[in-house]
Amino acid sequence: MNAAAGRPAERVRPRAHCTADSAGGLTFDVALGVAHDDAAGRWDTGLLLRRRPASGRGAAEEVRLPLVPTSPGVLRAALPSTMPLAEGVWHAWFSDGERRRSRLLPGTHDLRSLVDRRPRPDRTWLGVRIPCTTTGGTLAVRAWQRWPHAEAADVKLADGVLTLRGQLYGAELGEGARVEVGPPDAGAAPEPLVAVPAEPDGAWFTARLPLAALPARAESECAVWLRPARAGAPVRVARILDDVADKRTHVRFPAVRLADGRCRVRPCYSQANELLLRFEQPRAAR
């Protein structure tokens, strides 16, 4: 008889508890389920991170991290901050050699070191990884790989004006720096919908967007960009240096009515935690 038969799934399947360090690395402590209680003695046991292409076509990308015993029934794997991880959602698997693979269940996550994280100034690339739980209840890691990066450190909305204070990494603010509102694809239009000065303070900047003055748009969403200098390429504004993997349900702003008196615009975040302006059209009369 199978020893795992009739037992709850959380006792059968391995569960990973995650700890983040201030440099951006992750440690996974995997508590073995009864279906894998013999894996601690195998040299080829590992934690597998697997990412499918955004297009849904082609082979999945995989990163394998070795698991080593730390205490009875617990194995540990480390994802160092120095290891690049392509941007996207990486699903976490427990791999018992070539014999068995199973999706990892999420455990407790200690992400305190990620709150208001400040990357070292000597970095040449920025990698952010935040453990999260999928809609199916399994463990995943949301990863960002960006350089340069414009971090939305503080976003406030009052009297129809969006005040954005942020920090730029990987580039310098220069003459003509400004915050722009335009299509999500930076190359989709030669001119932004609106642009306002980005007041520099070292690597920090402050911009004030009068949302009520925006023209109504047929497009449902526009992106917020920082152009570091007049001749510089725009950088997408996002908030990724904290412990929230998906801000769509955690951060909500009120909508601002536009000058036409009908349409409204609402600041929000995308699935990738990028700052958006969502235009809400009036509902058709019934």
Can you give the pLDDT at residue 128? Answer: 95
Mean pLDDT, residues 171-199: 86
For residue 40, what pLDDT is reported? 54
pLDDT at res. 78: 98
Collapse the DSSP code of 127 into the 3-class scheme (helix H, G, I; strand E, B; otherwise coil) and give the result.
strand
The strand pairing partners of 226, in sequence order, are 179, 235
Of 138, 128, 139, the closest CA to residue 244 belongs to 128
Provide the 10 A C-beta neighbour count for residue 48. Answer: 19
> What pTM was estimated for this model as a whole?
0.87
Please check the confidence at residue 253 and state whether its pLDDT lies above 80.
yes
In this prediction, residues 4-10 reach a mean pLDDT of: 48
Question: Does 83 have pLDDT greater than 50?
Answer: yes
For residue 208, the model assigns a pLDDT of 98
Q: Which residue, 45, 44, 41, is CA-closest to 14?
A: 45
* Cα separation, 221 vs 270, whole angstroms: 10
- C-alpha angle 142/107/125, rounded to 5°? 25
Mean pLDDT of 12-30: 93
pLDDT, residue 59, reads 82
> Helix, strand or coil for residue 35?
helix
Model confidence at 246, in pLDDT bands (50, 70, 90)?
A: very high
What is the Cα–Cα distance from 126 to 119, expressed in whole angstroms?
8
* Cα 36 to Cα 38: distance, rounded to the nearest angstrom: 5
Reduce the DSSP state of residue 280 to 3 states and report it. strand
Mean pLDDT of 253-266: 89
In contact, 268 and 280? CB cutoff 8 Å: no
Instruction: Give the confidence band of 1 by pLDDT, cuts at 50, 70, 90.
Output: very low
**Residues 114 and 132 sit within 8 Å (Cβ to Cβ):** no
The pLDDT score that the predictor gives to residue 193 is 86
What is the residue-averaged pLDDT of the chain? Answer: 87
